[in-house]
Chain A
């Protein structure tokens, strides 16, 4: 009986310790409208959530550890009201043009989640404004981390959106495919997208599909383990070389390379390795393992 009491006290201490390690993470994101520069040097009207009022075509990442509290300020830097959705955290707010909304969420479980300026089918989230919120397990604190926010868009439909027209998505045929807002050659040297690591190292790769179309991501050279899945298509704990990432899905993959080398990772819907109707220009990254 005494032993059980001692054990209970120990558990309580451990829980309190856990709480004390939880952080309050304060972050601001700004919904900007600007111009995305495509891989073939065309400027496209585009939305993104950025760190400040300067437009960048890569959406800001929100990063927590399990137990952390996120205090998020969302500034709508446009002239019209927009939504802010964090579906996995039951957050749905309307933000007036020029207004700021304060949002607080707690990272209860590890995984890759999506925030956006609307639900799927809404116009603006299909127009760039969606990013990832990643909650890491504390044991992953020291691991190398890389992020792939997958999107695609059809240039004609973006122009229709920009003109304020309703878009018919039934014949959707995107012509640009991006990772963190960029296509293949724009990604060269990008430290967020292109994986660098060493043999035997534990590397985490976070993937979110914030577009409207399925993306099927194939790894050359290695299988990865699906450590956390926010998906109906991939089993947690499965080891695969090709991961289906449906719109709205998030995957947290563990890669432990067993050999050195340079290996591509690309969409195996090979049409999505294009940009502006040119190949190869789209979703194509590199693993560089020493």
Chain B
């Protein structure tokens, strides 16, 4: 009788906790990364992944929708170093703030959860707040995007497609001689800092020829989401011949929407800039990296725009029109998305454990094999290049 009562209580608690959450991310934290640099060298980074994977820089882009309640189930698998996640700009309560002295840390082999409500659309950051100056430099950061309803970034300002550009730098000497297992990894220790003289300047963890081309239609407004998690300042120069309108900052609509040619962005800031249609001209966006103390320009990177008229007019990161069937399902679930060798499917069960089911790519569909799983409710998530593009509930019977 007691066992049955306990079972009901457990089921009630699980149902209650999951019933309030719209989206769950299963995040792992590591100190065993390997990040490829543009010149063929590598750095051994720390980082975040979705499920079990080798972390690169930055961590996975987390996209959610305005109004959603979001849960991050976070597993620390990092050989001894404690970590946290600070939800930068999301104005969470103290418990979810990720500051070791006022919130909690996640020790090695522990799993703990952070929750937030995605109240305001915009681009935000997440990063480790343990020995922040080291753990952030070593790659423990990423972006969170809260998508607005109907892709309206402010009343009267809509976009067809958005791109996230997260700027940072790396001083390779810090990685080569890092105080990885020193007191620098302790939560409360005071430690010595080497001089910071970065030699790699990142856009989404990439430099020079690595940087992805931003592909859009020629006739659509493009929202550029800019964030700086580095220690240098940025000066962004927008493409000539395109109207760049500064609309949001730090997840809030600015009082004055101003047309800008360029934009300074200091450490930790974020901006949303709407570009008028790119047309068919070759265009680039330039990012200058300014020394944190002298303000002198130290380096520049360029991001190219490409035009592809075959792109759908109304593409979203997670379209509500994506089919998922049958549901409930017994052996297999079909998802109406085109997959690739960079597609990963994650199943999250009612206890929060993650599973990587076998998948088959068939044309514009992904077939997910669920026959070996226990009956029950699951969240099924689709990741393309570590970016969450679909998150749905599915029942296995």
Contacts and interface: CB of A to CB of B under 8 A. Distances in A.
B269 A242 contact: yes
Given A270-B136, A271-B196, A218 B268 contact: yes
A277 B191 CA distance: 8
B49 to A, nearest CB: 23
A102 to B, nearest CB: 36
Interface stretch (A48-56, A74-82, A133-141, A233-241): A233-241
Identify the interface centre among B92, B192, B250: most chain A CB within 10 Å of its CB. Answer: B250
Interface string B132-150: 1110110000000000000
Interface string B256-269: 10000000101111
Interface string A195-237: 0000000000000000011101010111100000000010111
Nearest to A286: B102
Contact of B250 (A237, A239, A273, A277): A239
Interface of B: 86, 88-89, 91-94, 97, 99, 102, 131-134, 136-137, 190-193, 195-196, 231, 233, 249-252, 254-256, 264, 266-270, 292-296
Contacts of B134: 279
Contacts of A280: 132-133, 190
| 5 closest Cβ pairs, A-B complex | A268-B268, A261-B94, A244-B266, A216-B266, A270-B133
B93 A264 contact: no
12 contacts: A213-B295, A235-B255, A239-B250, A240-B250, A241-B89, A242-B250, A263-B102, A270-B133, A271-B193, A271-B292, A277-B193, A279-B131
Nearest to A262: B102
A280 B233 CA distance: 21
Nearest to A266: B132
A116 B254 CA distance: 32
A166 interface: no
Contacts of B268: 216, 218, 241-242, 268
Contact of A216 (B94, B256, B267, B293): B267
Given A239-B250, A242-B268, A244-B264, 8 more contacts: A170-B294, A220-B97, A237-B255, A242-B267, A262-B102, A263-B94, A270-B133, A277-B192
Identify the interface centre among A170, A214, A278, A280: most chain B CB within 10 Å of its CB. Answer: A214
Contacts of A278: 190-193
Contact of A273 (B92, B132, B137, B254): B132
Identify the interface centre among A218, A260, A270, A277: most chain B CB within 10 Å of its CB. Answer: A270
Contacts of B255: 235-238
A279 B190 contact: yes
A266 B137 CA distance: 17
B94 A221 contact: yes
A283 B99 CA distance: 16
A233 B131 contact: no
Judged by DSSP, the binding face of A is loop
Contacts of B86: 220
Nearest to A152: B293
B322 to A, nearest CB: 33
Contact of A218 (B88, B137, B231): B88
A21 interface: no
A169 B291 CA distance: 13
B114 to A, nearest CB: 14
Identify the interface centre among A212, A258, A274, A281: most chain B CB within 10 Å of its CB. Answer: A274
A221 B196 contact: no
A118 interface: no
A261 B133 contact: no
A220 B99 contact: yes
B99 A213 contact: no
A223 B91 contact: yes
Identify the interface centre among A213, A241, A244: most chain B CB within 10 Å of its CB. Answer: A241
Contacts of A281: 190
A235 B257 CA distance: 10
A173 interface: yes
B266 to A, nearest CB: 4
B131 A235 contact: no
A220 B88 CA distance: 7
Given A242-B268, A244-B266, A270 B294 contact: no
A64 B178 CA distance: 50
Given A262-B94, A263-B102, A172 B249 contact: no
B190 A270 contact: no
Interface in A104-163: 152
Given A240-B252, A244-B266, A278-B191, A270 B231 contact: yes
A1 B275 CA distance: 53
Given A271-B292, A279-B190, A216 B91 contact: no
Nearest to A171: B294
Contacts of A152: 293
Given A240-B250, A240-B252, A274 B97 contact: no
Given A238-B254, A279-B133, A264 B102 contact: yes
A60 B296 CA distance: 32
Given A270-B132, A279-B133, A221 B250 contact: no
Contacts of B137: 270
B293 A173 contact: yes
